Chains A and B, each alone.
Chain A
Amino acid sequence: MSSNSSKKIEKVLMVDDDANIRLITEMSLKKLTAWQITVAASGREALMAAEKEPPDLILLDMMMPQMDGLTVFAELKTKLGVDMPKVILMTAKVQSHEVDHYKQLGAAGIISKPFDPMTLPDQIRAIVNSES
């Protein structure tokens, strides 16, 4: 209803170390939305991709080897500054009830895994709209 004020999502960067989840998420978003989807399999890849072409939204997995979601998030903030896109954290570790802490860090929202790929775009839109 009030989505008119938010910046339109066009480019989405999706970061997850699990290849299956990357595939499912990508498939869901590509089939159900017109967004342009880029995927990254690690924090490092994500940083490179985001620097190369800053997205409008990042779907960021929390638990990743070497560089976890929060570290990626912090580095993105220092690297991109004002161009920092909205970030939705994807996590299998917590339930949606414990989002306060992450919201304080500046995340737009949390989507807990497992998620329903058929309603994933709606969930993302709901978070982005409630933010704006």
Chain B
Amino acid sequence: MKQHSEVLRSVVVTAVLVVLLSMAAVFGTFQRSIQLQSREWVIHTYQVLQQLEAVSSSLAGAEAAQSEYLQTGDQRYLERYKTFSQRAELAVNKVRQHTADNPDQQINIGSLFTKVGEKRAIMDELVNKVSPRDANSASISETETRSLRYTQEIQKILDEMKQAENKLLEERALELAENTQNGNLLLLLFLALAVGAVLLLGWFMRQYLLGRINLERMLAARAHQIQLVLDTMSDGVILADMDGKFVLFNPAAQQLIGPLYSMSPDKWSHHFGIFGTDQTTIFPAEELPLARAMRGESVDDVELYVKSPSVPSGRWISVTARPIRPSDDDVFQGAIVVFRDISERKEAEKRVSEFYSTVSHELRTPLTSIRGSLGLIEGGIAGEVNETTGQLVRIARVESDRLIRLINDILDIRKLEAGKLELRKTTTQSEDLVERSIQGCQGFADERGITLLTNIKTGGPLECDEDRVIQVITNFVSNAIKFSKPGGKVTLMLQPATAAFKFSIIDEGEGIPPDQMHKLFEKFQQIDQTDSRRQEGTGLGLAISKAIVEEHGGTVGVESQFGRGSTFWFELPAVFSPAHIIKDDTTDGGDHPALIVEDDAKLSHLLKAHLTQDGFDVLCAGTVAEAEAILSKVRPLVVLLDINLPDGNGLDLLTKLDGQAGGGEIPVIVITGGSQSSDYGNPTLVDWITKPFDSQRLTRALDKVRQGFGSAQVLIVEDDPSTRSVLKEQLKTLGIDCREAPDGQQALIELHEHEPDLLILDLEIPAPSGSQLIDQMKSEGNGSKPLIVYTASDLTEEQKQRLSLGLTAHLTKSRTSEEQLLNTVRSFVSRLLLEKVRESNKEVIDG
């Protein structure tokens, strides 16, 4: 910008200079012409004066010649007289000519002309009339006297004219002098200004040039500094243009990956020997950070392996690349890549990993013997143990268990930190996770005199690493038990959250002081606790739990009231949004009510989970009285009934139900310890399941119930004919009617012609592909169709979001058993049919 203003200033000054000079030139020319004019005028006046003199002298000459002639009579004098007389006339005519433009002289010139004419006439008269002899006659004398008088008058006029001309001359000379002086002064001024402008311009030029020189020096210095930085740094830097030509690089770049010369970017990987993290497959050239940056991406910390004739021993590099876009100051377009040697770090990581592995082995081997020996003694395998010894052995066993837990926790933390916690995700029922965790913790709870309760408000499939989630729940539950007073209770609640399941572990312990809350989930943090409980944990459990939950894409948190208890919770993303089992504090049972009459709380929970998964809004009763209360308000779609209830016989309830209006149509599944009484043969009895409870049998019974609700049609879109037919056969056993489509085209036709209730879609089908099919369905207003995406590839959350219609589940082929797929279909179909039933009931009511 500074340069700009300097140039502008120089231009302005130059322009001013040009204007000044041209003005001076124009003015000079003008002045010159005025001077010339004035001079002409002066010459002209001089000429007039000269002629006037000529008039006077010619007349005098003529007079003198005339008088000589009169005295001598010599003809020569007569000739002379004539010459002078003519001269006088000529002179007068010239004067007349010259003064024609001067009005002041006109009167004088007029009288001069007349007088000279008359004078000449008199003189001619004298010469002609009088011969030289008569010279002395009286008439001569009289005429001579007249002539003399004319001479005097003429002289007078001439004098006046001369005077006037002289005056004019004086005035003109003065004017000329004045003009010349003023003109010269102005010219001088212009010249002075021009010189000033030239000097100014010169100064500006000097400043500008100095600025340029300084700038160039600075640039050179900066370039030198940058060169030094590039030469000194151990990171490799390469700047490439849009054709992939290396326009700049530093020595480190060549040291790290070998000599650099430009080549087509698709040859880079091969030429430089760039491999992926497995160290064996050539890294795709178009995916190289520099190539990606040339396409406009910013790439950070990509780890690559380089091994080539230039780098024979191999080297790990971490690469960062940025696109270079043209800017105001620079039109260059290309990309820059910076990479560093991370071989040492990689080597260190490998050694650390090996170290952990070895340490783990070296610690566990002796612990196996210790723990094993203690376990065998404690278990009485080695013979009867007396009470004191038993107590001591138990202490040793418990402590070695703790040591083992600590080692496991440390290894977990190490894996989490190295980002190496690999989740083995499978589709699991969320409520099963709760049940299994509770079973695992029951022993510890009994030991501490704590009651474990579950409060399952929802259920359904969850894609997670079962072992890890159970580890998290167990960790929270055992913490809760640890910090509860004997006789207290710990509740494990499962409830729906936004597209997630929320697991809450609620205790009635001491609670957590507010100032300690923030560090709960940090490593090796335990709440400052004066009593011995502090000693029990490793201080890693919560940090590990948090990391596991976050690895699942979930969140974790805690709420606590000091002195009143704490709630630790975590949420895991659901396969499809979970529904409430019971709408809190209401008994209307929702849109699809089902009633469970069962006094065994655990079995009741299990049954509830089962029904919830099928889309029922479940109401639970523990007694006949409760069941009757519910039945007075709600007409359930199905009843699961236990016979032996605390306040009576479930069969009585059935009899009563039969008596109710429409009650006899409600399907009933009996679950009981006793065998089916022969005297009960209600036609709506679907099944009589004897305990121990078999969930398979309940599933089949519910299938039968569902078939009573109507039928749903499923469209299977799958290109593999055998998979298709297997699936079809299996669905047939569930009483579900199927149609098939081997490709997207056929699927679209099926969708239009048969309007299936549910779509089971393989994504990898011939055109249009599964994802295109979904897009098309969305655009055709079919966006709320229930969908089960059954694909070979692992989908990201983002992809799942995109590949969704109405109620949607995403199942990965390799991770989903046939049973899981069938369960999902069953659950979907059940929900669909329940919705149909609700709508038809509504129509009946409305109609």
- Listed in ascending order, the chain A residues whose CB lies under 8 Å from chain B are 18, 20-21, 24-25, 27-28, 31-32, 63, 92-93, 95-98, 100, 113-118
Given contact pairs A92-B365, A114-B404, A32 touches B357 in the complex (Cβ within 8 A): no
A92 to B411, alpha carbons, bound, how many Å?
12
Please give, as numbers and ranges, the residues of chain B lying within 8 Å of A118 by CB-CB distance. 375-376, 378-379, 381
A27 to B382, alpha carbons, bound, how many Å?
9
Instruction: Tell whether B368 is near chain A: CB-to-CB under 8 Å.
Output: yes
Given contact pairs A27-B381, A100-B424, A21 touches B376 in the complex (Cβ within 8 A): no
Please give, as numbers and ranges, the residues of chain A lying within 8 Å of B381 by CB-CB distance. 27-28, 31-32, 117-118
Please give, as numbers and ranges, the residues of chain A lying within 8 Å of B375 by CB-CB distance. 28, 116-118
Given contact pairs A31-B381, A32-B381, A117-B381, A97 touches B468 in the complex (Cβ within 8 A): yes
Please give, as numbers and ranges, the residues of chain A lying within 8 Å of B411 by CB-CB distance. 95
Are B372 and A117 closer than 8 Å at their CB atoms?
Answer: yes
Please give, as numbers and ranges, the residues of chain A lying within 8 Å of B465 by CB-CB distance. 97
| One of A92, A96, A113, A117 near B376 (C-beta < 8 A) | A117
Chain A nearest CB from B711 CB (Å) reads: 32
Given contact pairs A24-B376, A96-B467, A100-B424, A114 touches B408 in the complex (Cβ within 8 A): no
Instruction: Tell whether B722 is near chain A: CB-to-CB under 8 Å.
Output: no
A115 to B369, alpha carbons, bound, how many Å?
9
Give the number of chain B interface residues (Cβ < 8 Å): 28
| One of B360, B373, B422 near A93 (C-beta < 8 A) | B360
Please give, as numbers and ranges, the residues of chain A lying within 8 Å of B372 by CB-CB distance. 20-21, 24-25, 28, 114-117
Are B467 and A97 closer than 8 Å at their CB atoms?
Answer: yes
Q: Flag B375-414 by CB within 8 Å of A: 1 or 0 each.
A: 1101101100000000000000000100010001001100
A4 to B174, alpha carbons, bound, how many Å?
148
A27 to B368, alpha carbons, bound, how many Å?
14
The closest CB in chain A to the CB of B397 belongs to: A116
A21 to B366, alpha carbons, bound, how many Å?
9
Instruction: Tell whether B361 is near chain A: CB-to-CB under 8 Å.
Output: yes
| One of A20, A92, A97, A100 near B364 (C-beta < 8 A) | A92
Instruction: Tell whether B367 is near chain A: CB-to-CB under 8 Å.
Output: yes
5 contacting pairs across A/B (C-beta < 8 A): A20-B373, A28-B375, A97-B424, A115-B368, A116-B375
A114 to B361, alpha carbons, bound, how many Å?
10
Instruction: Tell whether B831 is near chain A: CB-to-CB under 8 Å.
Output: no
Instruction: Tell whether B371 is near chain A: CB-to-CB under 8 Å.
Output: yes
Given contact pairs A113-B365, A114-B404, A24 touches B373 in the complex (Cβ within 8 A): yes
Chain A nearest CB from B361 CB (Å) reads: 5
Are A114 and B468 closer than 8 Å at their CB atoms?
Answer: no
A114 to B375, alpha carbons, bound, how many Å?
11
A116 to B360, alpha carbons, bound, how many Å?
18
Are A113 and B364 closer than 8 Å at their CB atoms?
Answer: yes
Please give, as numbers and ranges, the residues of chain A lying within 8 Å of B404 by CB-CB distance. 114
A24 to B370, alpha carbons, bound, how many Å?
10
Q: Which of B370, B376, B378 has the most CB of A within 10 A?
A: B376
Please give, as numbers and ranges, the residues of chain B lying within 8 Å of A18 by CB-CB distance. 365, 368-369
| One of A21, A93, A98, A100 near B368 (C-beta < 8 A) | A21
A100 to B360, alpha carbons, bound, how many Å?
19
A20 to B370, alpha carbons, bound, how many Å?
9
Are B408 and A24 closer than 8 Å at their CB atoms?
Answer: no
A23 to B191, alpha carbons, bound, how many Å?
121
Please give, as numbers and ranges, the residues of chain B lying within 8 Å of A95 by CB-CB distance. 408, 411-412
Are B365 and A21 closer than 8 Å at their CB atoms?
Answer: yes
The closest CB in chain B to the CB of A116 belongs to: B375
Chain B nearest CB from A102 CB (Å) reads: 13
Q: Flag B331-358 by CB within 8 Å of A: 1 or 0 each.
A: 0000000000000000000000000010
Are A114 and B424 closer than 8 Å at their CB atoms?
Answer: no
A63 to B357, alpha carbons, bound, how many Å?
11
A27 to B377, alpha carbons, bound, how many Å?
11
Q: Flag B305-338 by CB within 8 Å of A: 1 or 0 each.
A: 0000000000000000000000000000000000
Are B365 and A98 closer than 8 Å at their CB atoms?
Answer: no
Report B653-700 residues with CB < 8 Å from chain A CB.
none
Are A24 and B369 closer than 8 Å at their CB atoms?
Answer: yes
Task: List 4 additional A-B contacts (Cβ < 8 Å) besides A116-B372, A117-B381.
Answer: A24-B376, A93-B357, A97-B468, A117-B379
Report B568-616 residues with CB < 8 Å from chain A CB.
none
A92 to B465, alpha carbons, bound, how many Å?
22
Please give, as numbers and ranges, the residues of chain A lying within 8 Å of B367 by CB-CB distance. 113-114
Chain A nearest CB from B467 CB (Å) reads: 6
The closest CB in chain B to the CB of A63 belongs to: B361
The closest CB in chain A to the CB of B400 belongs to: A114
The closest CB in chain B to the CB of A119 belongs to: B375
The closest CB in chain A to the CB of B360 belongs to: A93
A32 to B382, alpha carbons, bound, how many Å?
12
A28 to B369, alpha carbons, bound, how many Å?
12
Please give, as numbers and ranges, the residues of chain B lying within 8 Å of A98 by CB-CB distance. 422
Please give, as numbers and ranges, the residues of chain A lying within 8 Å of B400 by CB-CB distance. 114
Chain A nearest CB from B463 CB (Å) reads: 16
Please give, as numbers and ranges, the residues of chain B lying within 8 Å of A96 by CB-CB distance. 467
Are A114 and B364 closer than 8 Å at their CB atoms?
Answer: yes
Are B379 and A93 closer than 8 Å at their CB atoms?
Answer: no
Are A92 and B424 closer than 8 Å at their CB atoms?
Answer: no
The closest CB in chain A to the CB of B420 belongs to: A98
Q: Flag B88-132 by CB within 8 Å of A: 1 or 0 each.
A: 000000000000000000000000000000000000000000000
A28 to B375, alpha carbons, bound, how many Å?
9
Given contact pairs A24-B376, A93-B361, A118-B376, A113 touches B368 in the complex (Cβ within 8 A): yes
Chain A nearest CB from B422 CB (Å) reads: 7
Are A114 and B371 closer than 8 Å at their CB atoms?
Answer: yes
Chain B nearest CB from A62 CB (Å) reads: 9
Q: Which of A25, A31, A100, A113 has the most CB of B within 10 A?
A: A113
A95 to B370, alpha carbons, bound, how many Å?
18
A129 to B246, alpha carbons, bound, how many Å?
64
The closest CB in chain A to the CB of B367 belongs to: A114
Chain B nearest CB from A14 CB (Å) reads: 13
A89 to B357, alpha carbons, bound, how many Å?
17
A93 to B376, alpha carbons, bound, how many Å?
23
Chain B nearest CB from A70 CB (Å) reads: 15
Please give, as numbers and ranges, the residues of chain A lying within 8 Å of B360 by CB-CB distance. 92-93
Chain A nearest CB from B384 CB (Å) reads: 14
Q: Flag B418-450 by CB within 8 Å of A: 1 or 0 each.
A: 000010100000000000000000000000000
The closest CB in chain A to the CB of B692 belongs to: A1
A95 to B357, alpha carbons, bound, how many Å?
11
Q: Which of B365, B373, B379 has the most CB of A within 10 A?
A: B365
Are B376 and A28 closer than 8 Å at their CB atoms?
Answer: yes
A93 to B358, alpha carbons, bound, how many Å?
7
Please give, as numbers and ranges, the residues of chain B lying within 8 Å of A24 by CB-CB distance. 368-369, 372-373, 376
The closest CB in chain A to the CB of B369 belongs to: A20
Chain B nearest CB from A89 CB (Å) reads: 14
A49 to B360, alpha carbons, bound, how many Å?
30
The closest CB in chain A to the CB of B424 belongs to: A100
Chain B nearest CB from A69 CB (Å) reads: 12
A118 to B404, alpha carbons, bound, how many Å?
17
Are B368 and A114 closer than 8 Å at their CB atoms?
Answer: yes
Chain A nearest CB from B104 CB (Å) reads: 133
Chain A nearest CB from B269 CB (Å) reads: 29
The closest CB in chain B to the CB of A113 belongs to: B368
Chain A nearest CB from B628 CB (Å) reads: 36
Please give, as numbers and ranges, the residues of chain A lying within 8 Å of B365 by CB-CB distance. 18, 21, 92, 113
Are B361 and A92 closer than 8 Å at their CB atoms?
Answer: yes
A97 to B415, alpha carbons, bound, how many Å?
12
Chain A nearest CB from B126 CB (Å) reads: 163
A49 to B364, alpha carbons, bound, how many Å?
27
Q: Which 10 A-B pairs have the closest CB atoms?
A: A92-B364, A24-B372, A20-B369, A114-B368, A118-B379, A114-B371, A113-B368, A31-B381, A117-B375, A117-B372
A29 to B111, alpha carbons, bound, how many Å?
172
The closest CB in chain B to the CB of A24 belongs to: B372
Please give, as numbers and ranges, the residues of chain B lying within 8 Å of A63 by CB-CB distance. 361
The closest CB in chain B to the CB of A20 belongs to: B369
Please give, as numbers and ranges, the residues of chain B lying within 8 Å of A27 by CB-CB distance. 376, 381-382
The closest CB in chain A to the CB of B364 belongs to: A92
